[in-house]
Chains A and B, each alone.
Chain A
Amino acid sequence: MKFVTVSGPPSSGKTAIILQAIDALKERRFQIGVVKFDCLVTDDDKLYQKRGVPVRKGLSGALCPDHYFVSNIEACMKWGLEKDLDILISESAGLCNRCSPHIKDVTAICVIDNLSGIGTPKKIGPMLKAADIVVITKGDIVSQAEREVFASRVRQVNPKAVIMHVNGITGQGAFELSTLLAQTEEINTLKGKSLRFSMPAALCSYCLGETRIGDEYQMGNVRKIDLSSKPTAEGPKPLTLKIFLIRLALMRLASPERWKSCLPG
């Protein structure tokens, strides 16, 4: 199975370009599935379902969605393998500009739109900086000059990436994107793989700088995705304060230096 991570700011056009690429890939007889990670709500799963694409969603609630992503992505890989997919695509909204879901040796796409303003590429951080492919959307709405300026700003932030323009509505560029997806390496487990960037302080082992993937490396506030086929309507329940504090105390014991600087007392 091929596996690709797609991230990008909210409403940048991730779902739109994934759907366009899926149409092109289906013509090439690929079996494709999607897992969508978001924070509070998403209807993207319905959009994928409507096109007959197997999809699962996970909502991270109070957690940083990228932290939630890394704690669950291995299980999602297993789901994709069980479904006998040729390509599994993960879509995650980059709600926290400091984190990024990109994994070493796994093709990483960042979607960013021309309307977001020319200062945006600089603000996005690792999600854009560490991507292999940067897809720029909504080129139909701006001028040629603005497209050029925007693309050169992206280039400054990520000099190595393949930068492509794909239109989420007309599908211009989607066939070309699908060619790149079809060329990615086969990969059947994430065991032993690492994130491209460490994630900053929050509440799980990944907050503490862990980059290795796998159950044995996860501790603290880790939330597990529900991959059963029944639709999950509600998001995760908020933690009670007590559990939260106990976990915090455990984390401080596990790594005192790291927590000294940011907690009172």
Chain B
Amino acid sequence: MFARLTDDHLDDMGLTLDQLRSALRDYVEGMGALQQEIDTVEKLTIRGGFNKDREAEDFELDLIPGQITCIVGPTGSGKSRLLADIEWVAQGDTPTGRHILINGQVPDAKWRFSIEHKLVAQLSQNMNFVMDLSVEEFIRMHAESRFVANVDEKITSILVQANELAGESFTADTPITSLSGGQSRALMIADTAILSRSPIVLIDEIENAGIDRKKALALLIKEEKIVLMATHDPILALMGQRRLVIKNGGVAKIIETGQAERDNLEQLEILDRKLMALRHRIRQGETLETI
């Protein structure tokens, strides 16, 4: 193949033959890395650093797959910084001085930079699609970029799960840009749960998402993700195993969700269902003179 390339060809590309060879080698190696099986994360450890006044946080916390940890605290307190420390696999080299361990060890540097071993998938607040594709084409493209096997099976299961989460149903042919806010979020969560290879999922406030939040979290946990969620929604907060209370840049308190809180969760869910029913009635054009 190289023999047939003339100098003119190479000139047009601005390459020498050696540069082309090494680029090709890099490509093959890079694509090989993408197809490699990802290491499993059995435990993620956060070792405390300092708050903004340089006072020690003094905690060490293990997170395991299937657990939900909520992060609470006012704006500017340092919630995003904590999530960023995890994403960067901080080794005392961020403003907080925190350390992140994977499976009890200082992790390989590959977690930091590689696209193929990305530790964290993020479901952000702002969830738009910008690509001009149908739901099926979109999932297929994502699956192919991840070198996933059984693509058709995955497409079906993402579509089924997403429809479970969204109130209003959609099909494989629906253009992603015409999905409603709730449908978009449902598709993103199902897609992240089933296709993303990242073992950790960070969620930024999904409260007003128009989706079944409980089912959404259940799906992520079923897929053995470690879930961290910044939220102030009482129902979501109580669904977590624990809450990290952030103040002045540091983890000020760790609250384990106790039995009394769990019992109250049922009460909250009853209230929530009641509100949902009222919302439905408003949508149907009914009045709320009796509730």
Are A and B bound to each other? Answer: yes
Picked from A140, A153, A160, A176, the residue with its CB within 8 Å of the CB of B26 is A160
Q: Residues 122-144 of chain A: 1 if any B CB is under 8 Å from the residue's CB, otherwise 0? A: 00011001000000000111111
Is A118 an interface residue, CB under 8 A from the partner? yes
Q: Once the chains bind, are B130 and A146 in contact (CB under 8 Å)? A: yes
Complex Cα distance A223/B60, Å? Answer: 59
Q: Known: A159-B27, A159-B31, A172-B80. Contact between A199 and B14, CB under 8 A?
A: yes
Q: Quick one: CB contact mask for A183-199 with B, threshold 8 Å, 1 for yes?
A: 00000000000000111
With a CB–CB cut-off of 8 A, which chain B residues contact A164? Answer: 113
Q: Are B123 and A140 in contact (CB under 8 A)?
A: no
Chain A nearest CB, measured from B127 CB (Å): 6
Specify which chain B residues have a CB less than 8 angstroms from the CB of A198 in the assembled complex: 14
Using a CB–CB distance below 8 Å, which chain A residues touch chain B? 27, 98, 114-115, 118, 125-126, 129, 139-146, 148-149, 151-156, 159-160, 162-164, 170, 172-173, 175-176, 179, 197-200
- B124 adjacent to chain A (CB < 8 Å): yes
Taken together as a complex, chains A and B put the C-alpha atoms of A141 and B130 apart, in Å, by: 8
Residues of A within 8 A of B14 (CB): 98, 125-126, 197-200
Q: Find the B residue at minimum CB distance from A197.
A: B14
> Is residue B9 contacting chain A, with contact meaning CB distance below 8 A?
no
Cβ of B138 and Cβ of A145 under 8 Å apart? yes
Q: A168: shortest Cβ distance to chain B, in Å? A: 14
- Are A179 and B145 also in contact (CB < 8 A) when A129-B23, A141-B128, A156-B31 are? no
Measured between beta carbons, the chain A residues less than 8 angstroms from B123 are 144
Interchain CA distance A115-B126 in the complex, whole Å:
14
User: A156-B31, A159-B30 are known contacts. Are A144 and B196 too (CB-CB below 8 A)?
Assistant: yes
Q: Given contacts A148-B146, A172-B84, A198-B14, is CB(A159)–CB(B126) below 8 Å?
A: no
Chain B residue numbers with a CB within 8 Å of A98 are 14
Assembly CA distance A197 to B10 (angstroms): 11
Query: In the complex, are the beta carbons of A160 and B30 less than 8 A apart?
Result: yes
Minimal beta-carbon separation of A213 from chain B (angstroms): 17
Q: With a CB–CB cut-off of 8 A, which chain B residues contact A197? A: 14-15
Question: Which stretch of B63-71, B166-174, B187-195, B255-263 is in the interface?
Answer: B187-195
In the complex formed, the residue of B with least CB distance to A258 is B11
A114 to chain B, nearest CB (A): 8
Query: How big is chain B's contact interface, by range?
Result: 35 or more
Note all chain A residues with C-beta closer than 8 A to B26.
Answer: 159-160
Q: Mark B93-127, 1 if CB is under 8 A from A, else 0.
A: 11100000000000000000101101001111011
Residues of B within 8 A of A (CB): 11-12, 14-15, 23, 26-27, 29-31, 34, 80, 84, 88, 93-95, 113, 115-116, 118, 121-124, 126-131, 138-139, 141-142, 145-146, 184, 188, 191-192, 195-196
Residues of A contacting B124 in the complex (Cβ-Cβ under 8 angstroms)? 139-140, 144
* Chain A residues whose C-beta falls within 8 Å of the C-beta of B15 in the assembled complex: 197
Contact of B146 among A152, A154, A173 (CB under 8 A): A152
Q: Which residues of B contact A176 (CB under 8 A)?
A: 84, 88, 94
The complex places the Cα of A156 from the Cα of B145 at a distance, in Å, of 10
Q: A149 contacts which chain B residues (CB < 8 A)?
A: 141-142, 145
Residues of B within 8 A of A159 (CB): 26-27, 29-31
8 A-B pairs with CB atoms under 8 Å apart are A98-B14, A118-B131, A142-B129, A143-B128, A145-B195, A148-B146, A156-B30, A163-B115
The closest CB in chain B to the CB of A125 belongs to: B14
> In this complex, what residue of B is CB-closest to A163?
B115
Whether B121 pairs with A144 at a CB distance below 8 angstroms is yes
Question: Which residues of the other chain, B, contact A139 by a CB distance below 8 angstroms?
Answer: 124
- B26's nearest neighbour on chain A, judged by CB, is A159
Known: A141-B126, A144-B188, A145-B138. A152 touches B113 (CB 8 A): no
